Amino acid sequence: MRLPLLTWLLAAARAVDLGKTTYNLNLIVEAGKETYEKTRDDAEALLAHAVANGMGTSVQLLLRGAVDKVKRSLLELEAKQKTESKAAETKDEGPPQTLTNATVGVRALKSTFAKPKKSNAMKRISVADFAKAVEDNKAASLLKKPLIVEGGVGALDELRSLLSAEALMGHDITLEYFTPAVSKQKRSFDEQQNSPQEWEHNDVSVERYFVNCFNLRAKPDFRKRGGAQTEHCEQDISWSTFFGGNATGLLTDALTVAGAALDADLGRTRFLLKAVANGVDAAKMALKSASTRLVVGPAGAGEHLRQQATPLVDGLVHGERRWFTMQPDTFMKLRGKAEASGALEPSSAFVFFESQLEELVEDLDLGAKGLSYREGSQKPGDVVFIPPSTIFTSLTYADAASVRGTLGTAGDAANAVDAKLWAPEGARIPDNVAAAACYGD
Rounded-to-integer distance, Cα 14 and Cα 58, Å: 28
**Of residues 113 and 351, more confidently modeled:** 351
Handedness of CA 144, 259, 289, 397 (dihedral sign): positive
Q: Would you say residue 165 has pLDDT above 80? A: yes
Question: Percentage of residues in the chain with pLDDT exceeding 70?
Answer: 68
State the pLDDT confidence band at 10, using cuts at 50, 70 and 90: very low
Q: Stretch 265-281: mean pLDDT, rounded?
A: 59
| Phi (first) and psi of residue 386, to 5 degrees | -120, 125
Q: Would you say residue 362 has pLDDT above 60? A: yes
CB 344 within 8 A of CB 352: no
Q: Which of 162-171, 277-286, 324-333, 394-403 has the lowest mean pLDDT?
A: 277-286
State the pLDDT confidence band at 339, using cuts at 50, 70 and 90: confident
Handedness of CA 32, 38, 43, 44 (dihedral sign): positive
Q: How many residues does the structure list for the chain?
A: 441
Q: Which among 42, 20, 15, 16 has a CA at the least distance from the CA of 29?
A: 42
Q: What is the pLDDT of residue 259?
A: 43
Contacts of 95 (CB under 8 A, 6+ apart): 157, 158, 160, 161, 164
Q: What is the pLDDT of residue 277?
A: 65
Q: Is 304 helix (H, G, I), strand (E, B) or coil?
A: coil
Look over the chain and give the mean of its residue pLDDT values, rounded to a whole number. Answer: 78
The residue type found at 360 is L
Q: Which among 97, 116, 108, 98 has a CA at the least distance from the CA of 377?
A: 116
CB 402 within 8 A of CB 316: yes
Question: Percentage of residues in the chain with pLDDT exceeding 90?
Answer: 35
Q: What is the pLDDT of residue 2?
A: 44
**Of residues 215 and 266, more confidently modeled:** 215
Q: Would you say residue 242 has pLDDT above 50? A: yes
**Of residues 38 and 205, more confidently modeled:** 205
Rounded-to-integer distance, Cα 122 and Cα 328, Å: 17
Convert 175-209 to b/e letters by CB count within 10 Å (16 or more is b): bebbeeeebeeebeeeeeeeeeeeeeeeebebbbb
Rounded-to-integer distance, Cα 383 and Cα 148, Å: 6
CB 318 within 8 A of CB 163: yes
Q: What is the pLDDT of residue 171?
A: 93
Q: What is the pLDDT of residue 317?
A: 92
Q: Would you say residue 33 has pLDDT above 60? A: no
Q: Would you say residue 97 has pLDDT above 80? A: yes
Residue 22's alpha-carbon distances to 8, 19, 25, 58, in angstroms, are 30, 10, 10, 10
Q: What is the pLDDT of residue 205?
A: 96
- DSSP character string of 117-142: -GGGBPEEEEHHHHHHHHHTT-HHHH
| Phi (first) and psi of residue 5, to 5 degrees | -65, -45
CB 204 within 8 A of CB 237: no
How far from the centroid of its chain's Cα atoms is residue 392's Cα? 21
Handedness of CA 284, 290, 294, 296 (dihedral sign): positive
- What are the tens digits of pLDDT across the range 168-201? 999 999 999 999 999 999 998 876 444 457 889 9
Rounded-to-integer distance, Cα 40 and Cα 36, Å: 6
Q: Would you say residue 431 has pLDDT above 90? A: no
- DSSP character string of 417-430: HHHT--BGGGTB--
Rounded-to-integer distance, Cα 170 and Cα 425, Å: 41
**Of residues 69 and 269, more confidently modeled:** 69
Q: Stretch 99-120: mean pLDDT, rounded?
A: 82
Residue 167's alpha-carbon distances to 48, 160, 316, 361, in angstroms, are 55, 10, 17, 42
Q: Stretch 380-403: mean pLDDT, rounded?
A: 93
Q: Which helix (H) or strand (E) holds 270?
A: helix 266-277
Q: What is the pLDDT of residue 295?
A: 95
- DSSP character string of 136-165: TT-HHHHTTS-EEEET-BSSHHHHHHHTSH
